[in-house]
Amino acid sequence: MKYILTAFLTVWLVTGYSQPKAEEILERIDQNMSSENRVFESSMTIHGKRSSRTITSKSWSVGDEKSFTEYLSPAREQGTKMLKLEDQLWIYSPSTDRTIQISGHMLRQSVMGSDLSYEDMMDDRKLTDTYDAEVTGSEEVDGRKAWVLELTAKVDDVAYAARKLWVDAERYIPLREDLFAKSGQLLKRSVMSDVVEVDGRWFPKTILYKDMLKQGDGTEFKMLDIKFNQDIPEHIFSKASLKM
């Protein structure tokens, strides 16, 4: 009996002490995923029901307040630009030479037909600022130990009321994420892979997004090149730069 009790206490102490607190995990994720600023080139392959197509773009962003994206290919999308300033979003279409502000329900529309919405793209806030978390266990994801976290929104203006995260227990990078509506319905799922170390932080280079309410095989987002803490000129984040 004494041995059993000792073994139980040992296991409890080991697991209890080795499992970090939820807030700590979120902070470590934010340290990896958020940055002062970043510049990256990416490709987005949208696997539709009938065909797949790839869109490439270059983005500049500062914190979670400002970002500017220019689409590079295919020809139909080339030159399309998006500017986000705080909670406002503008799109410039070169074929019409018009800049349109996206607001209201349009923010929930798909970006370029992908499984991502404008709202998804706009919400770059830190998880620690927007969600309360609770560690509910650990699982193995793609051969790596992961903490399972359940997040509940603590602010009203987030796109998803709840999230479930599988976080790499060593690198503190989400490996999988389920996004839920207030009703509890699963809306989106994302799977992160190709985790690499860039400038001392871990970052997933490939993310497969799947809108669970949409047909198709999801959208594969690949980070082709990413640089953190760059010197980004301020004029990029102006409406004038949309037409340049």
Partner 1 sequence: MIKFLIKGLIRDKSRSRLPVIVVAIGVMLTVFLHAYITGFMGDTIEMNARFSHGHVKVMTRAYAENMNQLPLDLALMDVEELLNNLQQQYPEYAWTPRIQFGGLVDAPDENGETKAQGPAAGFAMDFLSEGSREADRLNISKSIVRGRMVQEQGEALLSDDFASKLRVEPGDEVTLIGSTMNGSMTMYNFRVAGTVSFGTEVLDRGSILVDIEDARLALDMYDAAAEVVGFLQTGFYDNEMALNTASSFNNKYTAAEDEFAPVMKTLSQQGSMGQYVELSNVWAVYITMVFVLAMALVLWNAGLLGGLRRYGEFGVRLAMGEEKGHVYRTLIYESVLIGIAGTIFGTATGLFLAALVQEYGIDISGMMEGSSMMMPSIIRTRITPVDYYIGFIPGLFSTVIGTMLAGIGIYKRKTSQLFKELEA
Q: Which of 53, 144, 189, 201 binds partner 1 (CB under 8 A)?
A: 53
Beta-carbon-side half-sphere exposure of residue 74 (alpha carbons within 13 Å): 7
The verdict on 78 binding partner 1 (CB under 8 A) reads no
Q: Which of 109, 136, 152, 230 binds partner 1 (CB under 8 A)?
A: 109
Q: Name the CA radius of gyration of the chain, rounded.
A: 20
Taking CB under 8 A as the binding criterion, the range among 17-25, 44-52, 126-134, 189-197 that sits at the site for partner 1 is 44-52
Q: Which of 96, 143, 182, 200 binds partner 1 (CB under 8 A)?
A: 96
N-to-C CA span, the chain = 77
Distance in Å, CB of 101 to partner 1, minimum:
7
CA distances from 46 to 20, 52, 54 (A): 37, 5, 6
Distance in Å, CB of 207 to partner 1, minimum:
19
The verdict on 101 binding partner 1 (CB under 8 A) reads yes
The verdict on 95 binding partner 1 (CB under 8 A) reads yes
Question: Rounded to an integer, what distance in angstroms lies between the CA atom of residue 66 and that of residue 110?
Answer: 20
Tokens 């607001």 correspond to: 103
Distance in Å, CB of 77 to partner 1, minimum:
7
Distance in Å, CB of 93 to partner 1, minimum:
4
The verdict on 114 binding partner 1 (CB under 8 A) reads yes
- Residues 217, 191: contact at Cβ < 8 Å? no
CA distances from 131 to 157, 166, 186, 211 (A): 11, 15, 17, 21
Number of shown-chain residues binding partner 1 (CB under 8 A): 23
x/- letters, 185..224, toward partner 1 (CB under 8 A) = ----------------------------------------
CA distances from 23 to 19, 20, 27, 28, 133 (A): 12, 8, 6, 9, 7
3-state helix, strand, coil in the chain (%, to 5): 20, 50, 30
The verdict on 47 binding partner 1 (CB under 8 A) reads no
Distance in Å, CB of 58 to partner 1, minimum:
18
SS3 category, 65: coil
> In the complex, which residues of this chain contact partner 1 (CB under 8 A)?
46, 48-50, 53, 76-77, 91, 93, 95-101, 106, 109-114
